[in-house]
Chains A and B, each alone.
Chain A
Amino acid sequence: MLLTQIVNGQVSDLALCETCAREKGLFDPQSLTFAEKFFPEEFKAKVDKLVQELAEGKRVEKPSTKRTDVLTKCPVCDFPLETYRKTGRLGCPDCYTVFSRELELQTTPGATEAQPQTHEDAPALSRIALEKQLKEAIAREDYETAAALRDQLKDLT
């Protein structure tokens, strides 16, 4: 089975199957974060990175802090905790209960609240400028720079 993929606004078929993608830990490669929902043109680099990872068969392993959660998989839907750590996604509504300790860590209200104020006085590169550079990097197919810029953009939010 082919996955239909949208790269740079173009709908095309991607030669990989859902099972393979899942085995590689690339859960739901079509799903996007909220900012990307309406800007399909902006996530070409992300898609390319996923495709590249699949091709190379490697996974970007994040050094995950060992948590005390007993379950590493949701007993209802089999969703691995490790995938949540990598993608921020969950498999089913019950995952919220199963992985509640892990979620508590991520959704501490203070953690996200404080951030925007910290770079209030030191706007190194604005989001617009970064986005522009990101687009340019993608246009010249410089995915290394694109990845770095994307990370900087992430840090802004």
Chain B
Amino acid sequence: MAFRFSTHLKQLPPWYNIRGLEFGVVLGTMGRLVRNLKGEVFPGWSTKESRARVAATLTPVVRSMAGFKQASHAAMPELDKEERKLLLERKQITPCLAARQDGSHVFINKKQDTIIMLNEEEHLAIHRFASGNQLDTIVADLRKKAKHVESQADMAYSKEYGYLTSMASECGDGLQLYMVLHLPGHVILNQIDKVERALNKLHLNISPFYTEYGEETGNLYVLFSPPAPLGTTDEILKHMEATADSLTEKELLLRQKIAAEDTITLSDAIGRMYGTLQHGAIMRYPELLHTVSMIRIATETGFLLFNGDPSHLQARLADIMLISSPTHLSYTSEEKSETIQAFMRMHLMKNLAAHLHINDEFSLHILP
């Protein structure tokens, strides 16, 4: 029996904390594959009846995919606003699907690493997530899924344009890639603009990873490709991989530079953050995003020591970012008071901080 959708929403996606990956800079990877049925009107222009027909054709195709026989499912009208908001915040559905009603559906596999949307912007949209830098795995898996889908249903394709999409400029391979990067070194040393300009030449984009909770992004950025024009996926994949590698290398260098050349400022900032964790009582979500970034910098540069496996720390930080958002706390704890939510959030951080301590080598003493 498929498990309930609401249960799903209360669990963390297990892919989120897979251990043993390079977590320092590339935190996660996502691929989006889209396909449309031949002879059916695109969801944005279609009637309720044609959406129902599309869903009826594609549902058995989804169910026949590996891992989707038992996948949890919801028809969009079954989901309330809170649930939509939560799925949206986890990037598990797109704003377009969140706004849809009759005839639109979402499927999530048990591992929560693959989401399938029916009658989103396109008839079929598959999102595949992985922690760390796993572009290769994601592209290979999406290609396998595409092949399966095409063996089961007749998809709209033209030799000239490739796979046809509702947005004319997005037709082609029907594939798009995203990466989430933690770039505090680039931010502190004002290197983001330079990266931007370099990426323009490769037709790649980088954008701050905004949440709905204010300006603070915790130094997170999204690197993304445009939807691949026909036959360009391999080239885009190559560019994305090369970009991720060079950004990682550069970021680690910049962090070392900051730690070496601006020791006093950095150790002060880390000390203040650590002090807040020891003696503060509440933490708002934007402050949490900032603190998570600071803990990452502090442990990676050796200012703070973590007693435990470093990948456990990274996994825990990723979990906390997800479970301590206002939307998530309201949904899972049913606690609506902002102050009490902020108290719960701080409690989570204090539990983690208990395993962190200041590296004495770096503490600055005033000499008599």
Whole-angstrom CA separation of A153 from B121 in the bound complex: 23
A31 to chain B, nearest CB (A): 5
Bound CA–CA A117/B198 (angstroms): 10
* B96 / chain A contacts, CB cutoff of 8 Å: 30-32, 37
A6-B88, A38-B91, A88-B169 known; A93 and B164 CB under 8 Å? yes
User: Is A54 engaged at the interface, CB distance under 8 Å to the other chain?
Assistant: no
How many whole Å from B122's CB to the nearest CB in chain A? 10
Among A64-72, A123-131, A141-149, the stretch that binds chain B is A123-131
Verify if A52 is at the interface (C-beta below 8 Å from B): no
Q: Report the bound CA distance from A40 to B209 in whole Å.
A: 11
CB within 8 Å of B: which of A80-106?
Answer: 84, 88-94, 96-97, 103, 106
Closest chain-A Cβ to B176's Cβ sits at a distance in Å of 6
B193 contact set on A, CB distance < 8 A: 123, 126, 128-129
Decide yes or no: A106 and B121 within 8 Å by CB, A93-B36, A135-B215 being known contacts. no
Counting chain B CB atoms within 10 Å of each CB, the highest count among A31, A84, A106 belongs to A31
A33 interface residue per 8 A CB criterion: yes
**Per-position binary interface string of chain B over residues 158-176, scored 1 when its CB falls under 8 Å from any chain A CB and 0 otherwise:** 1001001011111100001
Pick the contact of A90 from B32, B91, B98, B166 — CB < 8 Å? B166
Is there contact, CB below 8 Å, between A11 and B98? yes
Within 8 A of B (CB), among A3-40: 3-6, 8-12, 27-28, 30-40
CA separation between A136 and B32, bound complex, in Å? Answer: 30
CB proximity of B97 to chain A, nearest CB, Å: 9
Chain A residues in 8 Å Cβ range of B89: 9
Q: Does B207 contact A (CB under 8 A)?
A: yes
**List of A residues within 8 angstroms of B95 by Cβ:** 6, 30, 32, 36-37, 40, 43
Residue pair B207, A131 in contact (C-beta under 8 Å) = yes
Chain A residues with Cβ under 8 A from B42's Cβ? Answer: 89-93
Contact mask for chain A residues 28-61; partner B; CB cutoff 8 A; 1 contact, 0 none: 1011111111111111000000000000000000
B249 at the binding interface (Cβ < 8 Å): no
By size class, the interface of chain A is: 35 or more
Residues of the B chain whose Cβ atoms lie less than 8 Å from the Cβ of A12 = 81
Question: 1/0 per residue A111-138: CB within 8 Å of B?
Answer: 0000011001001001111010001000
Of A38, A135, A156, which one neighbours B178 at CB under 8 angstroms? Answer: A38
Q: Does B103 contact A (CB under 8 A)?
A: no
Expressed in whole angstroms, the Cα–Cα distance for A92 and B212 within the complex equals: 33
Residue among A5, A79, A94 making CB contact with B99, cutoff 8 Å: A5
**Residues of A that sit less than 8 Å from B by CB:** 3-6, 8-12, 27-28, 30-43, 76-77, 79, 84, 88-94, 96-97, 103, 106-107, 116-117, 120, 123, 126-129, 131, 135, 156-157
A-B residue pairs in contact (CB < 8 Å), sample of 24: A4-B84, A5-B99, A9-B85, A10-B212, A28-B45, A28-B166, A30-B99, A31-B167, A32-B96, A35-B205, A37-B121, A39-B210, A40-B98, A77-B45, A88-B169, A90-B166, A91-B41, A91-B42, A91-B45, A92-B42, A103-B168, A128-B207, A128-B208, A156-B200
- Given contacts A39-B210, A91-B41, A107-B169, could you give 10 more A-B pairs where the C-beta distance is less than 8 Å? A3-B99, A6-B95, A8-B212, A9-B85, A11-B84, A36-B95, A40-B212, A92-B42, A127-B205, A156-B200
Closest 8 CB pairs of A and B: A9-B212, A28-B44, A93-B156, A30-B99, A91-B45, A40-B95, A126-B193, A92-B41
